[in-house]
Amino acid sequence: MSERGTTAAQQFYGRWARLYDFLASATPGLSQLRGRAVDELGLASGDTVIEMGCGTGANFSHLRKRVGPNGTVVGVDFTRGMLQQARNRVEREGWKNVHLVQADAAAFELRGEVDAVLATFVVGMLDDPHTTIGRWLDGISSGGGLALLDAGQSTHPYSWPVNQAFRGLVIASTPGGGTNFEKPPWNVLDERVAEARRMLSERTVETSNSEHALGIVRITGGKIP
Ligand SMILES: C[S@@+](CC[C@H](N)C(=O)[O-])C[C@H]1O[C@@H](n2cnc3c(N)ncnc32)[C@H](O)[C@@H]1O
């Protein structure tokens, strides 16, 4: 992401971190979808999982449940305010094996044994999802998993009203309302998500793609050969 884009995203998510935390945790049905995305990682007790763009940590309970007390969860995000909400969650729950790192997920180096990477509602914010997903895949151990959970315009029949509502949500949740793009921000989002899913499909085995919530939500997962 350009320096200006990064700063705008950090300011935006920093300002709305508390509200985001509420919506990320309380939106009906979302926790189940988070759980389904985490299932795609194929985690086992004792594993190490990295969550890119972890935000306020709404996935942590799902990840912790799968890796158990001897596993490790690392949350990476570049927005201080979002990480502060995540830190509050970790302290409130008394989780000792959840660690937080403030860093750019597009440049984050995966070191040591990494069993899985998760990114939910993040790849649509990456300037170059192809390169970034490739870098993540390179850092995951053989047999490990990568899963993405994203929203996008639906292709279902009768999807017009759903897509109108979705476009409104994209404008509200994109730094600057997405006015800095040459195309409508929902098209940019769709293209980036499609590119990320394509890269994942090319490089993984046992790849699965599913659509939920009238086709607005997509979950993609695969294993490193
Ligand atoms: C829409 S929120 C999703 C948060 C969380 N994954 C969830 O599902 O609730 C996007 C998050 O990604 C973070 N983010 C976006 N691009 C990033 C990057 N390149 N590096 C690190 N964090 C990033 C933002 O700071 C924000 O917290």
Which two tokens mark 132? 């970034």
pLDDT, tens digit, for every residue of 135-144? 999 999 999 9
Helix (H, G, I), strand (E, B) or coil at 137: helix
Instruction: Report the Cα 113 to chain-centroid distance in Å.
Output: 21
Query: Average pLDDT of 117-132?
Result: 96
- The CA 86 to ligand 1 mean position distance, Å, reads 12
For a ligand 1 pocket test, name from 23, 78, 174, 217 the mutation site with the most ligand atoms within 8 angstroms of its C-beta: 78
Residue 159: what pLDDT? 83
- The CA 1 to ligand 1 mean position distance, Å, reads 12
* Identity of residue 80: R
What is the total count of domains within the chain? 1
Residue 178: what pLDDT? 64
pLDDT, tens digit, for every residue of 100-121? 999 999 999 999 999 999 999 9
Residue 174 pLDDT exceeds 80: no
- The CA 166 to ligand 1 mean position distance, Å, reads 19
Cα 48 from Cα 208, distance rounded (Å): 22
For a ligand 1 pocket test, name from 110, 125, 188 the mutation site with the most ligand atoms within 8 angstroms of its C-beta: 125
Q: Find the domain containing 88 and state its range.
A: 3-223
For a ligand 1 pocket test, name from 25, 36, 56, 79 the mutation site with the most ligand atoms within 8 angstroms of its C-beta: 79
pTM (2 d.p.): 0.94
CATH code for the domain of 9 = 3.40.50.150
DSSP 47: -
